[in-house]
């Protein structure tokens, strides 16, 4: 789960990290009112879950009331990489002489957290990592002990942070690690940390991603979640609790287990078709879940045929077959042709009860995928 900038900044502020004066606004009037309170210049920043907001026109400066009106009008309601901007953060534009980067994330290769500091802040840090990896100081942290203060100091000195602010930046890094640890974050990032003319340090942006698996013990953060979907299909997948990714093709794909579903996508491509989606119904699916999955895929108007690929382990083939029969039996006319392949636990029982009038049954994965691709080609003509 990703927090919005304004939410992450409130978590930061509570933890004692300095942040600029800011107010959330959702209309032009509210933006102007906030800007007048804060004093010009202000930055108006779209609150949507996309990277690269600035480049995409989602962050703009306003130096006067007229500019605030104009900028607010441009940003509120705009489409930013598929998301409509409903709210903006109106923020004091900090005068700075220098920008830094500070972040903590999980190094999956090492199995432990890594704290990072760079004197090259305010730019795309992934690009810095690629082009000038030495410009980022890294310090791995023992998860059992947490970050020692000397590690924060070491990272700050290694990164070449100006001496005047070194101790303040080390203190921010220590707090960022503490937040990462306490709040079950997968990532906490400040880019940039601004250094003002008076050598004050201020978190001018805030990224905080929380491990979805840990939300059960981060209830207050979980309540901040505001669902944002690119389209109605993704909204529906969220409601049904499916792992779903919409793609641009016309062969709908339903399966159990991420690896097998990805393999089914790859085979559709291999046999000359185009996958319309990734949909994993997960382990142990019951009839209702199967019906929901079909509903999802039928709702995508690009889909011309569907392949259902189940390899039962914890999932039972007869339960899946019952779900397919029930779901399809409700239609007077089934909207798309469905190919089903059942294997594994109770697959034979499943194949026996599957209604052949409603679906095409294939024995092997390869046959099922090829048949679905054929159907999709016929349908598309």
Residues that bind other proteins (CB under 8 A): 106, 108-109, 111-113, 126, 130, 142-144, 181, 184, 186, 211, 213-214, 216-217, 243, 245, 247, 255-263, 265-270, 275, 278, 280, 283, 311-314, 343-345, 364-366
CB of 111 to other proteins, least distance (A): 4
CA–CA distances in Å: residue 108 to residues 105, 141, 175, 379: 9, 13, 22, 44
Residue whose entry in the numeric block shows the structure tokens 């008076």 = 198
Among the listed residues 5, 6, 91, 101, the single catalytic one is 101
CA–CA distances in Å: residue 42 to residues 34, 139, 301: 9, 35, 44
CB of 106 to other proteins, least distance (A): 6
CB of 289 to other proteins, least distance (A): 15
| Closest CB to other proteins among residues 169, 343 | 343
| Closest CB to other proteins among residues 142, 197 | 142
- DSSP sequence for 147-199: --HHHHHHHHHHTT--HHHHHHHHHHHHHHHHHHHHTTEEEEEEEEEEE-TTS
Among the listed residues 189, 234, 319, 362, the single catalytic one is 189
Give CA angle at 260 (302, 210), nearest 5°: 85
Sorted by sequence, the CB contacts under 8 Å of residue 266 that are 6+ apart come out as none
CB of 53 to other proteins, least distance (A): 16
| Closest CB to other proteins among residues 13, 247 | 247
| Closest CB to other proteins among residues 20, 312 | 312
| Closest CB to other proteins among residues 310, 354 | 310
CB of 214 to other proteins, least distance (A): 4
Buried b (16+ CB within 10 A) or exposed e, 266-301: ebbeeeebbbbbbbbbeeebebebbbbbbebbbebe
Would residue 40 show up in a list of annotated catalytic residues for this protein?
Answer: no
| Closest CB to other proteins among residues 169, 305 | 305
Three-class secondary structure of residue 301 per DSSP: coil
Query: How many other β-carbons are positioned within 10 Å of the β-carbon of residue 312?
Result: 21
Residue whose entry in the numeric block shows the structure tokens 């939410």 = 7
Query: How many other β-carbons are positioned within 10 Å of the β-carbon of residue 330?
Result: 11
Residue 72: phi, psi to the nearest 5? Answer: -60, -40
CB of 281 to other proteins, least distance (A): 10
Please state, in angstroms and rounded to a whole number, the distance separating the CA atoms of residues 6 and 11: 9
| Closest CB to other proteins among residues 44, 233 | 233
CB of 266 to other proteins, least distance (A): 5
Q: Are 295 and 239 in contact (CB under 8 A)?
A: no
| Closest CB to other proteins among residues 249, 323 | 249
Would residue 189 show up in a list of annotated catalytic residues for this protein?
Answer: yes
Three-class secondary structure of residue 237 per DSSP: helix
* CA neighbor of 4 nearest in space, from 57, 73, 58, 67: 58
CB of 368 to other proteins, least distance (A): 12
Please state, in angstroms and rounded to a whole number, the distance separating the CA atoms of residues 173 and 189: 10
CA–CA distances in Å: residue 56 to residues 7, 46, 206, 240, 335: 21, 10, 18, 32, 39
Residue whose entry in the numeric block shows the structure tokens 């699916």 = 285
What positions carry a catalytic annotation? Answer: 101, 189
């Amino acid at each position: 789960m990703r927090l919005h900038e304004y939410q992450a900044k409130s978590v930061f502020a509570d933890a004692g990290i300095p942040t600029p004066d800011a107010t959330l606004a959702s209309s032009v009037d509210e933006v102007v009112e906030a800007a007048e309170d804060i004093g010009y210049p202000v930055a108006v920043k779209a609150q949507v879950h996309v990277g690269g907001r600035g480049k995409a026109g989602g962050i703009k400066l306003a130096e006067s009331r007229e500019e605030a009106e104009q900028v607010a009008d441009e940003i509120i309601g705009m489409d930013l990489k598929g998301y409509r901007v409903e709210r903006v953060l109106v923020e004091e534009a900090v005068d700075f002489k220098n920008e830094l980067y500070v972040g903590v994330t999980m190094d999956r290769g090492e199995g432990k957290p890594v704290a990072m500091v760079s004197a090259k802040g305010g730019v795309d840090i992934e690009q810095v990592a690629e082009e000038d990896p030495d410009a980022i100081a890294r310090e791995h942290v023992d998860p059992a002990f947490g970050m020692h203060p000397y590690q924060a100091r070491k990272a700050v000195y290694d990164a070449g942070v100006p001496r005047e602010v070194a101790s303040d930046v080390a203190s921010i890094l220590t707090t960022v690690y503490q937040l990462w640890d306490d709040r079950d974050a997968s990532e906490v990032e400040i880019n940039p940390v601004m250094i003002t003319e008076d050598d004050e340090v201020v978190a001018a942006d805030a990224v905080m991603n929380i491990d979805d698996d840990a939300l059960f013990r981060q209830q207050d953060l979980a309540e901040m979640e505001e669902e944002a979907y690119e389209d109605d299909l993704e909204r529906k997948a969220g409601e049904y609790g499916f792992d779903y990714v919409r793609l641009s093709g016309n062969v709908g794909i339903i399966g159990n287990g991420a690896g097998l579903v990805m393999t089914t996508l790859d085979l559709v491509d291999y046999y000359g078709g185009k996958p319309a989606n990734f949909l994993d119904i997960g382990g142990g699916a019951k009839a209702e879940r199967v019906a929901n999955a079909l509903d999802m895929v039928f709702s995508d108007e690009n889909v011309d045929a569907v392949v259902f690929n189940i390899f039962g382990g914890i999932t039972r083939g007869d339960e899946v077959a019952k779900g397919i029969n029930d779901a399809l039996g409700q239609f007077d006319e089934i909207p798309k042709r469905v190919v089903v392949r059942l294997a594994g636990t109770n697959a034979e029982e499943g194949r026996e009860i599957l209604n052949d009038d409603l679906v095409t049954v294939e024995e092997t994965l390869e046959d099922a995928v090829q048949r679905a691709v054929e159907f999709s080609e016929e349908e598309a003509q």
